[in-house]
């Protein structure tokens, strides 16, 4: 490699930097730094004139490392990297120094100290630049096929949307029919239309599209790989099936919590859950006599802290149906709070009250109890508002329980190397900024597998996940960050510490040709956080662009080199 020649370009940013920091002084200081061959100031380094100057000086002085001391890499790094590239210098041989946000703007009344700090920051930047090595951006091909796990409404929505866009879709459903939990529902809010109608529409989009391969009574057995080229093995009724896909959508849904024993569920006849009620309603049974609903059953307590979210709407809906079917029956909803969110559910709440459904509030400190040994006859309740205990007659008690994470979720999470939260629901990359994506590239999440979602939300999330999965598949390839980790097998002892700390499952302990364990980084899966590099006891793993040699040199330069208080004395 040719001799290192660092060029330093210090920006005035009009008066933003130059108004506080003595920029010419910094330029002069930079000239004497080790391996710095050239240094100049620019009024605006990011202007055409500034960028042209960088390119000219690279050629004129044979510069092979570039430092720009101006604003923040978060907005301007790409611009300067490209400029370097245009002048034939690898984009990773560029180092940014922040003199504006981190210096002139925060020390506006201390020009001398700011100038001194600016010199030190430039010194650190030049020290790192001298140790930068060229890196290449890798590109990975994306197979335009998606595996959708789960055939509930979220999965159907995702699969239908992707198939419509022309992508190959493999839809895997554990049960022998599509539709998930919605299959057992009777009517839906708002509009009181049968759930089967909606399912028919969603299912037809999938079954009538040749792009979709459907695997019923099937499960995902194994999956390896990364965005663009996953390899999955499915167990299907006709045996094992291997498929290759570019992206994965998790839409495994949730299950209704069945807290056996709570309010005598499973012990006393007549105590059922909402899903049990939905099935009875679907079967045409509406003569349930006096009915008491108990909401928040198994939710919002010490064992399960979250709110089931949909449960209030479900109880409001079914209570009204029962009251309308049998106006003489006494239908009561025992609630801790009514969370009728949005515009539709609040209207439904009023409709239920107008229909004659009673809503009574109870306190979790004094929860209701069911009366009756073999068959339920009533519910004893302490009414928080009146402060009195009273008995309600009941032929049926319906427990409104929350949706809970499927017990298979944690296995699937491990297989896909994606996280779950403390309740066992899958955890997306960012609640607000990346709501249907996992931190792992190419893997997406939709529906109640993330958190109790109603049907509209599940369909919306399915469509959103499909759009997110489609983006890289349309592009056909994905560029891979070059500042990834790299193992030096000669230094690696195979201790697997790196494998344990990697949040992305990008590191695997393999064997070298002598059969010794050695760590291997999958550069496509690596996100370049550097956690492994900090953890490696041998210094065998380095994060490219942030190597030990580069960081230690910056520390050394800051600690040991002289204080540049400069000409001011």
Q: Would you tell me which residues interact with another protein (CB under 8 A)?
A: 72-74, 98, 100-103, 105-110, 113-114, 116-117, 120-121, 124, 419, 429, 439, 483, 501, 503-504, 527-531, 533-535, 543, 546, 548, 551-552, 554-556, 558-560
The strand pair at 65-70 and 403-405 is best described as: unpaired
CA–CA separation, 398 and 297 (whole Å): 10
- How far apart are CB 396 and another protein at their closest, in Å? 42
CA–CA separation, 62 and 1 (whole Å): 13
User: Of the two residues 260 and 433, which places its CB atom closer to another protein in the complex?
Assistant: 433
Q: Which residues pair with 213 in a beta bridge?
A: 170
CB atoms inside a 10 Å sphere around CB 486: 17
Residue (of 302, 359, 296) closest to 331 by Cα position? 359
- How far apart are CB 116 and another protein at their closest, in Å? 8
DSSP 108-129: TT-HHHHHHHHHHHHHHHHHHH
Residues 6+ apart with CB under 8 A from 378: 292, 370, 371, 372, 391, 392, 393, 394
CA–CA separation, 239 and 218 (whole Å): 9
DSSP category for residue 3: P
Residue (of 441, 507, 499) closest to 468 by Cα position? 441
Tokens 């106006």 belong to 327
- How far apart are CB 44 and another protein at their closest, in Å? 17
User: Of the two residues 49 and 558, which places its CB atom closer to another protein in the complex?
Assistant: 558
User: Of the two residues 359 and 438, which places its CB atom closer to another protein in the complex?
Assistant: 438
User: Of the two residues 115 and 318, which places its CB atom closer to another protein in the complex?
Assistant: 115
- How far apart are CB 549 and another protein at their closest, in Å? 11
User: Of the two residues 276 and 566, which places its CB atom closer to another protein in the complex?
Assistant: 566
CA–CA separation, 99 and 122 (whole Å): 9
- How far apart are CB 506 and another protein at their closest, in Å? 11
- How far apart are CB 257 and another protein at their closest, in Å? 25
CA–CA separation, 496 and 517 (whole Å): 9
User: Of the two residues 103 and 248, which places its CB atom closer to another protein in the complex?
Assistant: 103
3-class DSSP state of 13: coil
- How far apart are CB 98 and another protein at their closest, in Å? 7
User: Of the two residues 49 and 555, which places its CB atom closer to another protein in the complex?
Assistant: 555
DSSP count for the chain of H helices, then E strands: 14, 30
User: Of the two residues 109 and 238, which places its CB atom closer to another protein in the complex?
Assistant: 109
CA–CA separation, 487 and 239 (whole Å): 39
- How far apart are CB 160 and another protein at their closest, in Å? 31
Q: 15 burial class (0-12, 13-18, 19+ CB within 10 angstroms)?
A: exposed
3-class DSSP state of 235: strand
Residue (of 80, 73, 79, 114) closest to 97 by Cα position? 73
- How far apart are CB 80 and another protein at their closest, in Å? 15
- The answer to whether residues 503 and 439 touch, using CB atoms and an 8 Å cutoff, is yes
- How far apart are CB 402 and another protein at their closest, in Å? 22
User: Of the two residues 59 and 74, which places its CB atom closer to another protein in the complex?
Assistant: 74
Q: 451 burial class (0-12, 13-18, 19+ CB within 10 angstroms)?
A: buried
Residue 154 tokens, joined: 């979220």
- How far apart are CB 504 and another protein at their closest, in Å? 8
User: Of the two residues 344 and 548, which places its CB atom closer to another protein in the complex?
Assistant: 548
User: Of the two residues 323 and 450, which places its CB atom closer to another protein in the complex?
Assistant: 450
The strand pair at 369-371 and 247-250 is best described as: unpaired
């Amino acid at each position: 490699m040719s001799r290192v020649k660092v060029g330093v370009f210090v920006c005035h940013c009009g008066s933003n930097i130059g108004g506080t920091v003595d920029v010419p002084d910094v330029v002069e200081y930079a000239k004497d730094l080790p391996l710095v061959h050239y240094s100049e100031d620019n009024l605006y380094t990011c202007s055409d004139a500034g960028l042209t100057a960088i390119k000219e000086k690279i050629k004129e002085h044979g510069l092979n490392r570039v430092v720009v001391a101006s604003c923040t890499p978060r907005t301007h790094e790409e611009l300067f990297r490209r400029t370097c590239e245009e002048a034939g210098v690898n984009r990773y041989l560029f180092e940014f120094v922040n003199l504006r946000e981190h210096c002139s703007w925060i020390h506006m009344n201390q020009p001398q100290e700011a100038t001194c700090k600016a010199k030190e920051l430039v010194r650190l930047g030049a020290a790192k630049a001298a140790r930068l090595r060229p890196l290449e951006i890798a590109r990975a091909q994306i197979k335009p096929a998606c595996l959708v796990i789960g055939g509930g409404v979220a999965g159907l929505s995702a699969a239908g949307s992707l198939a419509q866009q022309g992508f190959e879709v493999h839809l895997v459903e554990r049960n022998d029919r599509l539709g998930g939990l919605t299959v057992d529902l009777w009517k839906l809010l708002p509009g009181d239309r049968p759930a089967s109608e909606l399912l028919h529409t969603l299912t037809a989009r999938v079954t009538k599209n040749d792009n979709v391969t459907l695997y019923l009574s099937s499960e995902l057995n194994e999956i390896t790989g990364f965005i663009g080229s996953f390899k999955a093995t499915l167990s299907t009724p006709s045996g094992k099936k291997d498929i290759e896909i570019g992206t994965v959508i998790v839409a495994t849904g949730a299950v209704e919590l069945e807290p056996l024993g709570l309010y005598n569920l499973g012990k006393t006849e007549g105590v059922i859950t909402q899903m049990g009620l939905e099935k009875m309603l679907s079967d045409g049974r509406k003569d349930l006599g006096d009915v008491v609903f108990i909401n928040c059953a198994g939710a919002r307590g010490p064992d399960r802290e979250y709110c089931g979210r949909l449960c209030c709407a479900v109880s409001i809906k079914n209570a009204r149906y029962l009251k309308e079917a049998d106006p003489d029956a006494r239908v009561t909803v025992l609630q801790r709070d009514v969370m009728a969110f949005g515009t539709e559910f609040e209207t439904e709440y009023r409709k239920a009250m107008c229909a004659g459904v009673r809503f009574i509030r109870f306190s979790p400190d004094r929860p209701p109890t069911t009366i009756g040994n073999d068959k339920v006859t009533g519910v004893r309740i302490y009414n928080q508002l009146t402060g009195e205990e009273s008995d309600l007659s009941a032929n049926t008690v319906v427990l409104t329980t929350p949706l809970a994470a499927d017990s298979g979720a944690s296995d699937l999470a491990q297989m896909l190397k994606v996280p779950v939260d403390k309740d066992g629901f899958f955890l997306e990359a960012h609640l607000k900024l990346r709501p249907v994506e996992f931190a792992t590239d190419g893997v997406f999440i939709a529906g109640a597998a993330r958190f109790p979602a109603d049907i509209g939300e599940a369909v919306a999330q399915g469509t959103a996940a499909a759009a997110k999965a489609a983006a890289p598949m349309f592009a056909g390839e994905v560029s891979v960050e070059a500042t990834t980790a790299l193992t030096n097998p000669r230094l690696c002892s195979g201790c697997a510490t790196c494998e344990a700390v990697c949040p992305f499952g990008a590191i695997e302990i393999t064997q070298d040709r002598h059969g010794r364990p050695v760590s291997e980084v999958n550069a496509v899966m690596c996100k370049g956080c550097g956690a492994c590099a900090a953890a490696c006891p041998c210094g065998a793993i380095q994060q490219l662009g942030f190597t030990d040699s580069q960081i230690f040199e910056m520390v050394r330069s800051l600690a040991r080199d002289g204080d540049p208080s400069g000409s001011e004395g």
